[in-house]
Structure 1
Amino acid sequence: MFLWRAEVQPGVSVAFTDTNAGNLALHVGDDAAAVLGRRARLEHIAGIAPRRFQYMNQVHGNEVSLVVEPDAGVESGTAGEPSPPAPTADALVSLGGPLAVMVADCIPLVLVGAGSSGPVLSAVHAGRPGLFSGVIPAAVEQMRAFGATDIRAWLGPSVCGNCYEVPAELRDEVAAVLASAWSTTSWGTPALDLPGGAASQLDALGVPVEYRGPCTLENESLFSYRRDSRSGRFAGLVWTHD
């Protein structure tokens, strides 16, 4: 169910699911009722039910959606239960509401900060376009606008710099903006190191990285789009305890 899970500070947990939790995405051709059932099971196992994880409609951009109430929207509702649509964004920020980000090679980034009235949480979908367009600085800025201090980061599993092969021109384009993302595959071809690029952005923002997950392409207990284009999606999660 969980590749990694920890209470990262009193009353706040972070986790990353694996293939045992099943596909958690509604946009990959899976049966919607089955997906919603898996999400509900995950919420019970995490101990947040009847609260729900807030998912988002991810578009590889840098839009940040503020989640004031822990209302999961249609992306995590129970089958047959009406709910408002999930926000179209690539980062969510809340004042304690449970958050989720879905991936299958991109970075599921979770951020936790301390606010004046409790934890400030964020879940970020950080793929190549998102890193390039600054989704991580945008999420940290919104957390700080909510008064967050002492922000820390957890970089979930993603494709690593030894495996993420790209054309040389694309590597050069990204590296011109984010030099730390320049890489070479283990077989000697141009590549991008997304976790390295994300870590350098976080370092520049004064946000320490507490955890870095394994490579999705190398780990068959995780979904990987590059290994299987019909892949499902696993999730990065953050929540507060009742």
Structure 2
Amino acid sequence: MSAPGRPTGYRVRRVTTSRAGGVSKPPYDAFNLGDHVGDSPADVAANRRRLAEKIGLTPDRLVFMDQIHGRTVTVVDGSVRETVPATDALVTTERDLALVVLAADCVPVLLSDDHAGVIAAVHAGRIGARVGIVPRVLDAMVAAGASVSRIEGFLGPAAGGEDYEVPAAMQRDVEAHLPGSATRTRKGTPGLDIRAGLRRQLLEAGVAGVAVDPRETITDRTLFSHRRGAPTGRHAGVIWMDTSGARS
């Protein structure tokens, strides 16, 4: 039963950016949204303003993270005015507030319970996925009013198992903590597919469904990839609840 006067459904929007459409110069060309990679602060600010404009929000309604490859989850509201420090996941019930996760091989995870109006953006690289960032996010979403059985997930572009080569010991360690992530690369060497492991983890947790962007960052030059060539920029996964989509 919903609370009196509270909408019972939300129009959740998701966007994944690419390298195209920005003002940054090489090697960050062109739509780099990361302010921690050595790019011109003015160019990054211009790109972030362009992102806000394209999704119909003002720049102050975009929430970025200081991502540290951990498992800290932060619940935010409209009072956020700066990059959220030392966190790898954002959760909100605020409408018209866009949560932004940056990546360049790590997995951008976007989650939502459209009925309850709870959304999350998660930075899940090898380390964060291994230490359990996603289960912590699910717990935070439930605490905010979501139901796991209604949560739907989207896994954005990331390093794929055919090209993400790692030492055998690292592969075994990650597989032990994130089953389903171990692969063999196209060269026949030990590899990791973090998206495969995360998809399995989410489905086993009982979420309603998980969609996966098939693009692979290491080989797709329309996307940024730290493993392909650093320094480089960061693309983004963005999720927000559109005011015009609320249903009562």
TM value normalised by structure 2 = 0.85
Q: Is the 8 A contact 2:163 2:186 kept in 1?
A: yes
User: Offset at 1:177?
Assistant: 2.0
SS in 2 for 1:241: strand
Shift of 1:212: 2.7
Partner of 1:24: 33
Query: Aligned equivalents of 1:158 and 1:26: distance in 2?
Result: 20
Gaps of 5+ in 2: 1-8, 22-30, 244-248
Whole-Å separation in 2 of the counterparts to 1:236 and 1:115: 21
The structure with the larger Rg is: 2
- Contact in 2 for aligned 1:155/1:213 (Cα 8 Å): no
Q: Distance in 1 between matches of 2:107 and 2:236?
A: 10
Aligned twin of 2:6: none
Secondary structure, counterpart of 1:59 in structure 2: coil
> CA, structure 1 residues 20+64, in 2 after alignment: closer, same or farther (shift >3 Å)?
same
Q: Aligned residue for 2:196? A: 196
CA 1:70–1:53: 2 relative to 1, 3 Å: farther
Deviations 1:49-76 (A, max 9, x none): 2642100000000000110226241x4x
Counterpart-to-counterpart distance in 2, 1:219 and 1:128: 20
Aligned-residue CA RMSD (Å): 1.5
Q: Are the equivalent residues in 1 in contact too, given 2:48–2:59 (CA < 8 A)?
A: no
Letter in 2 for 1:124: V
- Does 2:216 correspond to 1:215? yes
The AA in structure 1 aligned to 2:38 is: G
3-state SS of 2:62 partner: coil
What are the superposed Cα offsets for residues 7-66 of structure 1, whole Å, 9 maximum, x if unpaired?
A: xx8522101100014110110001111101110111011011264210000000000011
One-letter amino acid matched to 2:155: L
Shift of 1:213: 3.6
Change (3 A) 1:50 1:102: closer
> Percent identity over the alignment?
38
Tell me what 2:26 maps to.
Answer: none
**2:61/2:78 contact within 8 Å kept:** no
Letter in 2 for 1:177: H
1:124-148 Cα distance to aligned partner (Å, 9 max, x none): 0000001100000111110011111
Aligned equivalent of 2:233: 232
Relative to structure 1, the CA distance from residue 38 to residue 67 in structure 2 (aligned partners, 3 Å threshold; closer, same or farther) is same
Rounded Cα–Cα distance in structure 1 between residues aligned with 2:106 and 2:59: 29
Measure the CA separation in 2 of the matches of 1:25 and 1:175.
29
Gaps of 5+ in 1: 1-8, 76-85
Aligned to 1:80: none
Structure 1 SS opposite 2:61: coil
TM-score in terms of structure 1 length: 0.87
d(CA) in 1 for partners of 2:200 and 2:37? 31
Q: Which residue of 2 aligns with 1:124?
A: 122
The residue that corresponds to 2:4 in the other structure is: none
Q: For 2:178, give the aligned amino acid.
A: L
Partner of 1:57: 66
